[in-house]
Chains A and B, each alone.
Chain A
Amino acid sequence: MPVSIEWLRAEAEYLGIMLTDEDLSAICEELNKTRAALAASRQTETEGLEPPYRFFLPQSTPDSTTPEHDE
């Protein structure tokens, strides 16, 4: 279901960010484009797809200590 400007306006108010109608319109368009792209890439199975831990922990040398697929 596409994002509506009314929903965005309510959320922006909740977040305390004053956005203009032009801002909301541009954001609405961007969000709906992104949602369409996500829908097109949607996975049929999601169990086990955990975040890539590389971006959370200080890294050791990948080849020597990182087991394969240990993300």
Chain B
Amino acid sequence: MTSELPFLSLTTLSDLIARRQISPLEIALAVFERIDRYDPILHSYITVCRESALAAARQAERDIAAERGRGPLHGIPISHKDISWTRGVRTTAHSRTLLEFIPDKDATHVRRLANKGMILLGKTNTTEFACGQMEIFGIPRNPCDISRYTGGSSCGSANAVAAGLAIAATGSDTGGSIRVPASFCGIVGLKPTFGRVSRYGVIPLSWSMDQVGPMTRTVSDAALILQAMAGYDPLDPTTANVPVPDFTEDLGKGIDGVVLGIPQQHFFEGLDPEVDKSIKIALRGLEELGARLQPVSLPRARDLAIIGRLLTMAEAFSQHAARLRRQVADYGARARRRIAAGAFYLTSEYNEATQIRKLWIQELDRAMRLVDALVIPTVPYPAFTIEDQIAGPPEVDRNTRAFNLSGNPAVSIPCGFTMAGLPVGMQLVCKWFDEATLFRIADAYERSTEWHKRRPPLDKVQEDAGKH
């Protein structure tokens, strides 16, 4: 049973805790056993909080036994991407400039999950400032093939959840940094609507596109975590003062009659043949569940990737300007060059990119009125090699950045595997603040497949580790 615990869904674990069949301490110990064994290979974590997590697990056990339970998340471990402030625990953003930074506050989403009784397991690996290289704590490896990269920048959260080194995790997404690693590692990764989740205490990249979201093994787990994270925060003026619905209410209701938009431009172009095949099978599966597929026209999608990167880096520079002046040599080359590039765009260029952004938002709004959701491959190809990541990774945001520009909620869920065993991800996009529909559709698809139950060949991970 112990070896199974790290692969059970949060929902299942929560139920077992409630029925006193397992304890929070057992869960934490089982995950730590796995971290000890596989993290030296997978590089999921920058900081592991063993002692405090075990103490918190024991306390959770006492509280639950004394009928002081705080709900379904109580006693469940959570791991946070190492750009989220965690009080008393270093938060490095994988940067030499922050190796000694120990926040005296939690990020809002960290605090909200802690208030629900979640136990901080550790801080997961990330690319430097969510846009650079990984030169200090190792490059996270894809547990499905350790010669391959996880995708980033929420790389450690993705491979930890996929490999049972975390029950659930949070990540951040500016151009695809939750969805791409979720796709490459075969898990669920949600970028909520812009403004749904507070970014207070999250080291920023782009003030108009960053979002924080859950990374989990199942859709219902993601819904539970978002439920606790979401909501207006006076500490983050970009959070929306809108009601937070019950994201789990529509789970299990099926998708009969749901209209799914299939963009006719850009998103389905240049697909790896195995990704193409998996997506086509998934679309047929959605139709068999009762959904209707409808073509939608989104010609502006082709303009967006570079525009999005201009906006991201211009905004990133405004956040990093002072630190760059003081410590430019402490930045890794990739982060330094990407962020500094943002300093040199003309105001007219930034504004022009913003105008193109507005036209995209209007075009997408018109299309979204005709459908309940869009269905798109998350990334046109499966995970690439670690060597390619080091040399200069291929574009991975081709299908994801568009929805950071628009702010729509988007989730990646596993929809197949290549012949070589690499996961393929399918992305669903809904209207603003309609995460409930997103979860409903994703959940219906997940219930009809077994992709989320597949585990990486971890014995092979240890065997292959000797070769890499």
Contacts and interface: CB of A to CB of B under 8 A. Distances in A.
Interface of A: 3, 8, 11-12, 15-19, 22-23, 26-27, 30-31, 33-35, 37-38, 40-43, 46, 49-52, 54-55, 58-62, 69, 71
Contacts of B232: 58
Contact of B354 (A12, A51, A58, A69): A51
Nearest to B209: A55
Interface in B38-76: none
Nearest to A23: B337
A52 B358 contact: yes
Nearest to A41: B303
B433 A62 contact: yes
19 contacts: A17-B324, A23-B336, A27-B344, A31-B344, A34-B306, A34-B349, A38-B307, A38-B310, A40-B303, A51-B354, A52-B354, A54-B407, A58-B237, A59-B242, A60-B242, A61-B242, A61-B243, A62-B433, A71-B358
Contacts of A49: 355, 358-359
Contacts of B243: 61
B97 interface: no
Given A11-B344, A50-B358, 7 more contacts: A15-B321, A27-B344, A34-B306, A41-B307, A46-B352, A55-B208, A71-B361
Interface of B: 194-195, 208, 232, 237-243, 303, 306-307, 309-310, 321, 324-325, 328-329, 333, 336-338, 340-341, 343-345, 349, 351-359, 361-362, 407, 432-433
B325 A59 contact: no
Which 8 A-B residue pairings sit nearest by Cβ, starting from the closest?
A: A59-B240, A37-B306, A49-B355, A41-B303, A55-B208, A26-B337, A27-B341, A16-B325
Given A55-B208, A60-B241, A23 B340 contact: yes
B358 A30 contact: no
Given A15-B343, A38-B353, A23 B239 contact: no
A8 B342 CA distance: 12
Contacts of A59: 195, 240-242
Given A8-B344, A34-B345, A58-B238, A71 B362 contact: yes
B302 to A, nearest CB: 9
Nearest to B361: A52
Nearest to A30: B341
A55 B407 contact: yes
Contacts of B321: 15, 17
A49 B362 CA distance: 11
B337 A27 contact: yes
A23 B329 CA distance: 11
A27 B362 contact: no
A34 B309 contact: yes
Contact of B329 (A8, A18, A27, A40): A18
A40 B352 CA distance: 12
A26 B336 CA distance: 10
Nearest to A22: B333
Nearest to A53: B358
Contacts of B195: 54, 58-59
Contacts of B333: 22-23, 26
Contact of B340 (A27, A35, A71): A27
Given A15-B321, A18-B329, A30-B341, A37 B307 contact: yes
Contacts of A60: 240-242
Contacts of A37: 303, 306-307
A62 B341 contact: no
Nearest to A14: B343
Nearest to B304: A41
Contacts of B433: 61-62
A51 B315 CA distance: 15
Contacts of A61: 242-243, 433
A12 B340 contact: yes
B362 A69 contact: yes
Which has the most chain B C-beta neighbours within 10 Å: A11, A17, A60?
A17
Nearest to A7: B344
A45 B386 CA distance: 45
Contacts of A11: 343-344
A46 B359 CA distance: 11
Contacts of B303: 37, 40-41
